[in-house]
């Protein structure tokens, strides 16, 4: 079972009959058929979501009757599509009460209604990547521009910074940031799946931090090795070519410590110097002495 399915199963446990959730389901996944009789048909590839649609309609219209049909779409995944055909009288009331024949904006500014609308939209047309995958992505799709713009407006009223993109014949409104996706799932009422989401994200972040630390350590060690190699070359040149009796004793001490500790970092050299020679020498002072040795090498080569 996919993470999206786990999230939707979580949402289906919510015992709340909000007309805004029903409106989203109707806007995103229903069609009005004109034939011998007017029919509202709701279609979805999740039987649990289809049953929730039925319960939401029955909460509003207790006398509702329906016919539940299913068909298999022969593709790679052989998905089953479930269709709920609503009776004539209830269909007429749905068309009138929810303005199904005209494009209308979702107007409620009540936060509970907005959350219910987002929950309904996600249940019928939403998906979210498993948090263990390489990329983070949550989306809601529709072939209606008005539906997507409405979703984006509601999402951004909660400061999600939702974006819109086109995919084939559909538009999608999506979130990419892990924190935003987690906040969205929490907002619409996901509970059990949130524990898995948060634990997976934390585990990935710990692993990524450890990897960055290791890479940084390796880079620093390579940098230390390169600097030490250059310093030792300078020291070797001076020992063979420069009159050491004329050299400052502080520089001679630095040369000695570096030769005896060929792979140590500046901090490690400084600890040795503090313990054995000069407890007051600073890191910048040690750097200055190595620069002075390099200058002596250059001056001697120039002569």
The per-residue pLDDT for range 186-239, each reduced to its tens digit, is: 999 998 888 888 888 777 766 667 777 777 767 777 787 888 888 889 888 888
Report how far Cα 32 is from the mean position of its chain's Cα atoms. 37
Listed residue (252, 243, 256, 259) closest to 299, CA to CA:
243
Chain mean pLDDT for the chain: 89
pLDDT of residue 93: 95
pLDDT of residue 279: 84
Q: What percent of the chain has pLDDT over 70?
A: 96
| 174 strand-pairing partners | 139, 163
141: tokens are: 């799709």
Q: At what angle do helices 47-60 and 3-12 cross, to 10 degrees?
A: 20
pLDDT of residue 168: 86
What's the number of CA atoms in the CB half-sphere (13 Å) around residue 201? 17
**163-190 pLDDT, tens digit each:** 999 988 899 999 999 999 999 999 999 9
pLDDT of residue 215: 74
pLDDT of residue 194: 86
Instruction: Evaluate if residue 276 carries a pLDDT over 90.
Output: no
pLDDT of residue 76: 58
**49-87 pLDDT, tens digit each:** 999 999 999 999 999 999 999 888 766 566 889 999 999
Listed residue (98, 116, 105) closest to 31, CA to CA:
98
What domains can be seen in the chain, in order of their start residue? 3-190 (3.10.28.10), 205-302 (no CATH)
Long-range contacts of 88-92 (CB under 8 A, 24+ apart): 88/37, 88/38, 88/39, 89/63, 90/40, 90/57, 90/61, 90/63, 90/64, 90/65, 90/66, 91/32, 91/37, 91/38, 91/39, 91/40, 92/38
For residues 34-59, average pLDDT = 93
Banded pLDDT at 28 (limits 50, 70, 90): very high
pLDDT of residue 297: 86
For residues 91-110, average pLDDT = 88
Nearest 5°: phi and psi at 278?
-140, 100
Banded pLDDT at 122 (limits 50, 70, 90): very high
């Amino acid at each position: 079972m996919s993470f999206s399915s786990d999230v939707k199963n979580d949402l289906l446990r919510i015992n709340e009959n909000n007309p805004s959730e029903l409106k989203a389901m109707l806007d995103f996944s229903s069609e009005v058929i004109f034939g011998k009789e007017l029919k509202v048909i709701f279609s979805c590839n999740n039987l649990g979501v289809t049953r929730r649609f039925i319960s939401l309609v029955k909460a509003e219209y207790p006398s509702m009757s329906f016919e539940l049909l299913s068909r298999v779409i022969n593709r790679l995944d052989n998905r089953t599509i479930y269709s709920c055909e609503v009776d004539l009288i209830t269909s007429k009331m749905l068309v009138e009460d929810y303005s199904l024949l005209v494009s209308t904006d979702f107007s409620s500014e009540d936060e509970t209604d907005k959350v219910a609308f987002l929950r309904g939209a996600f249940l019928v047309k939403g998906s979210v990547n498993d948090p263990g995958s390489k990329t983070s992505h949550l989306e809601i799709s529709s072939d209606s521009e008005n539906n997507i713009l409405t979703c984006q407006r509601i999402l951004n009223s909660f400061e999600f910074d939702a974006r819109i993109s086109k995919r084939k014949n559909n538009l999608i409104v999506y979130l990419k940031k892990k924190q935003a996706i987690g906040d969205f799932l929490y907002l619409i009422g996901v509970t059990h799946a949130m524990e898995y989401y948060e634990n997976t994200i934390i585990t990935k972040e710990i692993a990524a931090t450890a990897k960055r630390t290791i890479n940084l350590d390796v880079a620093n060690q390579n940098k230390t090795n390169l600097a030490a190699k250059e310093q030792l070359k300078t020291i070797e040149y001076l020992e063979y070519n420069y009159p050491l009796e004329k050299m400052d004793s502080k520089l001679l001490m630095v040369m000695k410590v570096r030769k005896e500790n060929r792979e140590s970092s500046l901090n490690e050299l400084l600890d040795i110097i503090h313990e054995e020679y000069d407890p007051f020498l600073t890191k910048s002072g040690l750097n200055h002495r190595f620069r002075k040795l390099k200058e002596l090498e250059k001056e001697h080569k120039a002569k």
